[in-house]
Chain A
Amino acid sequence: MKTLEVLKTENLKSYYMFEMQEEKKEVKAVDDVSIKIQEDEIYGIAGESGCGKSTFLKTICGLAEPPLRIVGGKIYYQVKGKEIDIVKGKEIDITKLSQEEYRKLRWEYISYIPQGSMSALNPIIRVKESFKDFVTAHKKIKDKQKDFEEPLRKHLNALGLPMRVLKSYPHQLSGGMRQRVTIALATILNPRIILADEPTTALDVVAQRAVIQLLKDIQNLQKNTIILVTHDMAVHANIADRMGIMYAGMFVEEAKTEEIFENPLHPYTTFLIGSLPKMGDKSYKISAPGSPPSLANLPQGCPFHPRCPYVMDICKKEKPELIEISKGHKSACFLNTKERKENAK
């Protein structure tokens, strides 16, 4: 049973704080999020641009830098059987662990692949050097062959990458190949959690397929956890075990991938799924109407209510909480709680 939690957030709030011309502005990118991520699973986070999913990733791996600040809540990692709270009260307390410990923790435990990371490789050195720089920063290498070359070769082989990439410079590789190399780089130290922010955006279908295949292989090999953020529902359908749908800084639905696609509970999820074109189907499709609210200026009550076709009075006043509707399926919508009450009668 995969019930070991590897990462947990409790009422996490992470805002961008700006001060422009004596006006304070709060962009509520992560607004009261409580999520549990398990070991040995691929968790997908879906949502439109600007819903806060990238910020969520940055926050949970401790990369929240001003103007982004953790305003409330807790983040727990499960390291070697111990729970470590990396947030102390209202401030990010990176110094709870020493700098050394924190850095080690970062790349051995949790690995972050940022968006557009195809440009993350140092352009003036060969790929092999990038790998070497990375590994030596985290591990002592006594025997070059045994500690570095062998594991590197095995790693690349297991991931289906040709050895020739090691001798190349980044600009000699195509975008898709660079992305795969970056993922290989981020996973060479066997991290327990891999955070991937839009790893397939800007790639064509073939490269995308290769990247998704790569991520699946890594997860299979290392039996770790991947948290994958993308707006592309089709990618989630192919790789995610469980999914969370984000809207305006909060999670509005969470369930197993099959459940999400077969039985979406939240109206926004229905929109996300219905707006995708399918091969062989030329019937007229529409996008979700309207546009997401500005995170600096959220509407009162449920943030989705201005666009929701099923809006009720309560939606305009109160913000729904993410609660379990059926086993393993959570939703933040008054429609579902109303139905549950009616079904219980």
Chain B
Amino acid sequence: MRNNNPTDKEKVTTTKMQEKLIQVENLQKVFIVGGGFARSKLLAVDEVNFYIQENEIFTLAGESGCGKSTVSKMLLGFLEPSLGEVYYKGKDIVNLKKWEEKKGFMKEVQSIFQNPFETFNPLRKVDSYLRDTAKQYGIEKNNGGQTIEEALRSVGLTISEVKGRYPNEFSGGQLQRISIARALITTPSLLVADEPVSMVDASLRMSIVNLFKDLRDNYNVSVLYITHDLATAYYVSDRIGIMFRGNIIEMGGVEEVLMNPKHPYTQMLKESIPEADPKKKWSERISIKELETEEYMRKGCKFAGRCPFVMEKCKNNMPPELQAENRMVRCWLYE
């Protein structure tokens, strides 16, 4: 599984050499909320375009409820998009109907989830999932044992620590690692990690996030990292897309987007990250006056209600994907 290629790090920056693993085009998801006579449409995901390459960590970041989890569910095939396409290595994976095709896709694209205590059935032993994965993806019996061993080792655990135990015997951090190990058994090309560290103690997050770096550098696995924690996003990603109320409003290299944000929302996000330094407290106040659903229903730019630079145009027209200083920005300021 491990390819000891010390030059892989250099490959990360040469985009021409990287194949596109995932291509998302014009993705949209509409939910119908309320019932009876009070129904309304909620545009949870709107015109989302992005791609993920080999050997890279791409982050989709944003507040809770901005649509990032919905995007990941559609990508994995757990939710049907209302509009748009998702391609994996050029193949359309939205309309896969046959189980064999779906399984073939899942072999290459695996996922871990936010709540490590819910990831496994509390009434089942944790290693049964590891064995299930090995068996059901046709990894040979003896080899299967070895593959499981290797997968656990790559996350810093051994089979003896894990064998025969139930989920409630482990800590959140350990369960999350076991979850990653399970995902690695099929040697996937892409790991979708949906808020993997938000329920883990702040002081232990780095150990999980370091794993993602290791996967990218030494195991040929790309990671789609979904989070609202910009500090770890900065630490671990190559490229990042910032989502707000269903749209990707800024996207590019993580250094550019987070160190020099162009969209007013990204600027506000960056400022809101608490620093572990008592001398650097927030100087300005924020004011959140609108309810979330009201922002979603806005015509035009959804951030217009809070934006310090708002113009008339913003209230009526959604800005298209514009280019500014080698990143994409959806903001009329950069026309």
Contacts and interface: CB of A to CB of B under 8 A. Distances in A.
Contacts of A162: 289-291
B293 A203 contact: no
B291 A288 contact: no
Interface stretch (B96-104, B184-192, B200-208, B307-315): B200-208
B215 to A, nearest CB: 15
B276 A206 contact: no
A240 to B, nearest CB: 8
Contacts of B289: 160, 162
Interface string A304-330: 000000000000000000000000000
B172 A172 contact: no
Interface string B172-192: 111000000000000000000
B282 A209 contact: yes
Contact of A280 (B62, B259, B287): B259
B60 interface: no
A282 B272 contact: no
Contacts of A49: 171-172, 201
B204 A287 contact: yes
Given A172-B291, A176-B64, A177-B291, A279 B231 contact: yes
Interface stretch (A21-29, A99-107, A229-237): A229-237
Contacts, number: 155
Given A173-B291, A209-B272, A282-B234, A203 B206 contact: no
B234 A272 contact: no
B258 interface: yes
Contacts of B285: 160, 213
B275 interface: yes
Interface size class of A (residues with CB under 8 A): 35 or more
A168 B292 CA distance: 12
Interface in A185-239: 202-210, 212-213, 231-235, 237-238
A276 B276 contact: yes
B274 A208 contact: yes
B19 interface: no
Given A49-B171, A49-B172, A275 B291 contact: no
Given A204-B63, A205-B269, A279 B206 contact: no
A203 B64 contact: yes
- Which among A49, A50, A205 has the greatest number of chain B C-beta atoms within 10 A? A205
30 contacts: A48-B201, A160-B285, A160-B289, A165-B291, A172-B293, A173-B291, A173-B292, A174-B64, A176-B288, A204-B62, A204-B63, A204-B64, A205-B63, A205-B228, A206-B63, A206-B272, A206-B288, A209-B282, A209-B286, A234-B276, A237-B277, A237-B278, A238-B282, A273-B276, A277-B231, A277-B232, A279-B258, A284-B210, A285-B210, A287-B206
Given A174-B291, A205-B229, A291-B173, 16 more contacts: A49-B201, A177-B288, A177-B291, A205-B63, A205-B230, A206-B286, A207-B63, A209-B272, A234-B231, A237-B274, A237-B277, A238-B278, A261-B277, A278-B231, A279-B230, A287-B204
Interface of B: 62-65, 171-174, 198-199, 201-207, 209-210, 228-232, 234-235, 258-259, 268-270, 272-282, 285-293
Interface of A: 48-50, 160, 162, 164-165, 168, 172-177, 202-210, 212-213, 231-235, 237-238, 257-258, 261, 271-273, 275-282, 284-288, 291
List of 10 A-B pairs having minimum Cβ-Cβ separation, nearest first: A204-B228, A234-B274, A174-B292, A287-B207, A204-B63, A209-B272, A277-B231, A234-B276, A275-B203, A277-B235
